[in-house]
């Protein structure tokens, strides 16, 4: 190919940030220290003054969020089957049971009209996900939580820069977990944070973050709970500070590119486009759902051969082996299964040019039109049912 390969995402790290990281490396203090404290202070300001603790991953943030709400054996946590598997794994690791609710076919997020029917006396918490950075309706979500006396742990891993009715995601609500993984809208390489309700909860978060250890003025220490190892390094925090300065600009650029996708994408191909929300969504991803007849693996290969990267985010969680072993079956969440089989993430990142969108749209149209119709699906229940699940 004459053109450079276009990945589906790529972080934008400026030279100032790179120089800043070099300074941290030379400073003699590279683990959690002044950069982490500054990053937390700036994140707290960003989230409307709420307490924030930086962590080494959002998976860790979710685990701590469940621990803070004392979710454990015998408890149920209601969540979506269409997410990164971390969302459900943390519930299983806590000893609780994930209760999936199918997704809305338009938003691809947990269907709030089905949510209340999934609540039982064992339900302890709601764990919604904003897929691709399109926020779950917070007004309806919290009305349900209040009605049933439930805590909420927002898996806002993909939501940095998104908002709900003029309020930033993270500035309101109960516990909010955000990811700074390399592919997310704001990155620290690996990292995350948890937004908390008050200083007392933030103190407990610190204990869960680092071995449950408290240090005293006389140099002694004590451990009061079995905390993990979830602290962020100063190296990573310095990257985050450099990213935070560009967040508004990143989000604006992503929205502009998403708009261009809507202008240029051929609507006659039979692909489902995302909800055209240019107010709340941070456009973490631009995802299409391929028409039934197109085999996703073949589409991805054809796009790759044409110089364009395509991602899969995500196959339905309940069909993964671990969850089948826990008793979940094909057919239980048909909308998530259908979307999970056909969803494809097209390139979208701040450094992309407008012409890149045009190129993706032209190539996608050629690929969708020229690919042969796929073989009929394997019978439901067979291990290989679904499109390209093992691709």
| Residues classed as catalytic | 184
Rounded to a whole number of angstroms, the minimum distance from the CB of residue 282 to ligand PLP is 12
Q: Is residue 155 classed as helix, strand or coil in its secondary structure?
A: strand
Tell me what percent of the chain is helix, strand and coil, each rounded to the nearest 5: 40, 15, 45
Backbone angles phi, psi at 89, to 5 degrees: -55, -40
376 CB-contact burial (10 Å; exposed 0-12 / middle 13-18 / buried 19+): exposed
Distance CA 204, CA 65 (A): 10
Closest CB to ligand PLP among 53 and 181?
181
| Residue found by looking up tokens 């993990």 in the block | 228
Tell me how crowded residue 121 is: count the other CB atoms within 10 A of its CB.
5
Q: Catalog residues that contact ligand PLP under the rule CB under 6 A.
A: 57-59, 83-84, 86-87, 129, 155, 157-158, 179, 181, 192
**Residues 196/61, Cβ–Cβ less than 8 Å:** no
Rounded to a whole number of angstroms, the minimum distance from the CB of residue 138 to ligand PLP is 16
- Maximum CA pair distance of the chain? 73
Q: Is residue 179 classed as helix, strand or coil in its secondary structure?
A: strand
Closest CB to ligand PLP among 317 and 363?
317
Distance CA 199, CA 270 (A): 51
Closest CB to ligand PLP among 108 and 253?
108
Rounded to a whole number of angstroms, the minimum distance from the CB of residue 128 to ligand PLP is 10
Distance CA 281, CA 258 (A): 10
Closest CB to ligand PLP among 280 and 356?
280
Rounded to a whole number of angstroms, the minimum distance from the CB of residue 145 to ligand PLP is 19
Rounded to a whole number of angstroms, the minimum distance from the CB of residue 130 to ligand PLP is 8
Closest CB to ligand PLP among 122 and 182?
182
Is the sign of the CA dihedral 348, 351, 355, 360 positive or negative?
negative
Distance CA 125, CA 78 (A): 6
């Amino acid at each position: 190919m004459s053109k450079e390969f276009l990945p589906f995402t790529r972080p934008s790290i400026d030279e100032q940030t790179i120089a800043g990281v070099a300074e941290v490396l030379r400073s003699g203090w590279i683990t959690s220290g002044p950069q982490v404290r500054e990053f937390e202070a700036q994140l707290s300001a960003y989230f409307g003054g709420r307490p924030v603790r930086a962590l080494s991953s959002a998976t860790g943030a979710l685990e701590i969020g469940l621990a803070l709400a004392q979710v454990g054996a015998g408890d149920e946590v209601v969540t979506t089957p269409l997410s990164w598997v971390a969302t459900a794994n943390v519930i299983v690791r806590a000893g609780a049971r994930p209760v999936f609710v199918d997704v809305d076919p338009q938003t691809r997020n947990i269907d709030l009209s089905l949510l209340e029917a999934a609540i039982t006396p064992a339900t302890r918490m709601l764990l919604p996900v904003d897929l691709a950075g399109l926020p779950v309706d917070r007004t309806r979500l919290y009305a349900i939580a209040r009605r049933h006396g439930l805590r909420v742990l927002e898996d806002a891993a993909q939501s940095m820069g998104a908002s709900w009715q003029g309020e930033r995601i993270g500035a309101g609500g109960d516990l909010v977990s955000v990811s700074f993984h390399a592919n997310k809208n704001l990155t620290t390489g690996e990292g995350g944070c948890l937004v908390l309700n008050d200083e007392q909860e933030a103190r407990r978060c610190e204990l869960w973050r680092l071995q449950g250890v408290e240090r005293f003025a006389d140099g002694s220490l004590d451990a009061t709970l079995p905390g993990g190892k979830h602290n962020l390094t100063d190296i990573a925090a310095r990257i985050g500070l450099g990213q935070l300065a560009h967040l508004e600009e990143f989000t604006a650029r992503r929205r502009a590119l998403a708009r261009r996708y809507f202008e240029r994408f051929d609507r006659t191909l039979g692909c489902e486009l995302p909800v055209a929300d240019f107010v709340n969504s941070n456009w973490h991803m631009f995802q299409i759902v391929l028409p039934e007849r197109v085999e996703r693996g073949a589409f991805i290969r054809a796009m790759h051969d044409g110089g364009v990267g395509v991602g899969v985010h995500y196959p339905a969680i309940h069909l993964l082996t671990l969850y089948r072993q826990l008793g979940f079956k094909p057919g239980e969440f048909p909308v998530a299964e259908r979307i999970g089989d056909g969803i494809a993430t097209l390139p979208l990142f701040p450094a992309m040019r407008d012409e890149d969108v045009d190129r993706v749209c032209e190539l996608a149209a050629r690929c969708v039109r020229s690919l042969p119709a796929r073989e009929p699906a394997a019978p439901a229940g067979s291990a290989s049912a679904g499109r390209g699940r093992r691709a």
